[in-house]
Amino acid sequence: MSKPSIGYNDTPMLPNSKWRVHDGKRPQPRRVIPGNNPSQPPSDAIILFNGEDTSKWVGRDGGPVRWKVENGVLIVKPGTGDIQTKQHFGDCQLHIEWAAPAEVKGEGQGRGNSGVFLMGRYEIQILDGYNNVTYADGTTAAIYGQYPPLVNACRKPGEWQTYDIFFVAPRFKGEKLISPAYVTVVHNGVLVHHHVELLGQTGHRILPSYKPHPPKGPIKLQDHGDPVRFRNIWIRELKGYDE
């Protein structure tokens, strides 16, 4: 057998794959131009908020967004409700920057509370967790009601913080859960959840469980009554290795 120009065609088949080890026919990875630093969107990112407007979002009941955009920053307007993306996503990489109010008010869950909900259902907590004690599974970067972050990497109130979230959506067949959701979260460059299996959708004072839902859902940001600020929000849709 002649050796192909790249790779091999006489090597073992990889398990659960249509490719051989070093298979020369295996598709090349798609080219993506990275941002100038890891916070900046790469070429294939969908920009959800770039400092200008909320055109990618809807407010309560699908109505207009009533949060404020000021000086390139999106600010929760307490009492106006959560906002969510018009576009829906499944497996994804999400980058989001946020800051708790510089003026410290309240304590525990009442200080700088917001949240990022993957698929509108699975919350990564946003909270001012800097010198602010609350239940561990509700602090900054917790998978709310399920898992505390591995460490508290919170910056001071008013300072910008980053979440980089890597999410694998759950799979359902009819009413049945085929595979659970998994999430990895990096907070300010620090790994705080490493491929954690979610117990179900986020709730308060209840044991989480899965309820069947479509394969894609919105990114939702929470109005929890605090004027938390956001900037530089982008997302990449992830496809399977063999697609």
Closer Cβ to Mg ion, 220 or 224, answer by number: 224
Task: Decide: helix, strand or coil at residue 137.
Answer: helix
Out of 115, 129, 157, 217, the residue judged to bind Mg ion by CB under 5 A = 115
Counting every residue written for the chain, the total comes to 243
Closer Cβ to Mg ion, 7 or 225, answer by number: 225
The piece of 7-15, 69-77, 175-183, 215-223 that touches Mg ion (CB under 5 A) is 215-223
Residue with tokens 């699908």: 62
Residue type, 93: Q
Residue 117 Cβ, how far from Mg ion at the closest point, in Å?
9
Residue 116 Cβ, how far from Mg ion at the closest point, in Å?
9
Report the half-sphere exposure of 127 (CA within 13 A, side-chain side): 28
- Render the burial of 79-106: b for 16+ CB within 10 Å, e for the rest: ebbbbbbeeebbbbbbbbbbbbbeebee
The pair of three-digit structure tokens given for residue 214, joined into one six-digit string: 């479509």
Closer Cβ to Mg ion, 125 or 162, answer by number: 125
Which residues have CB under 8 Å from 199's CB, separation 6+? 146, 180, 207, 208, 209
Residues from 223 through 242 that contact Mg ion (CB under 5 A): 224
Closer Cβ to Mg ion, 95 or 224, answer by number: 224
Residue 112 engages Mg ion in binding (rule: CB under 5 A): no
Residue type, 91: D
The piece of 34-42, 124-132, 182-190, 196-204 that touches Mg ion (CB under 5 A) is 124-132
The closest residue (CB) to Mg ion is 115
The pair of three-digit structure tokens given for residue 118, joined into one six-digit string: 């993957």
The piece of 90-98, 147-155, 174-182, 218-226 that touches Mg ion (CB under 5 A) is 218-226
Size, binding site for Mg ion by CB under 5 A: 5
Closer Cβ to Mg ion, 113 or 161, answer by number: 113
Residue 82 Cβ, how far from Mg ion at the closest point, in Å?
10
Residue 14: Cβ within 10 Å count = 13
The piece of 21-29, 79-87, 120-128, 161-169 that touches Mg ion (CB under 5 A) is 120-128
Task: Decide: helix, strand or coil at residue 233.
Answer: strand
Residue 120 engages Mg ion in binding (rule: CB under 5 A): no
Q: Which alpha helices (DSSP H) does the chain contain, by range?
A: none
Binding site residues, Mg ion, CB under 5 A: 113, 115, 125, 222, 224
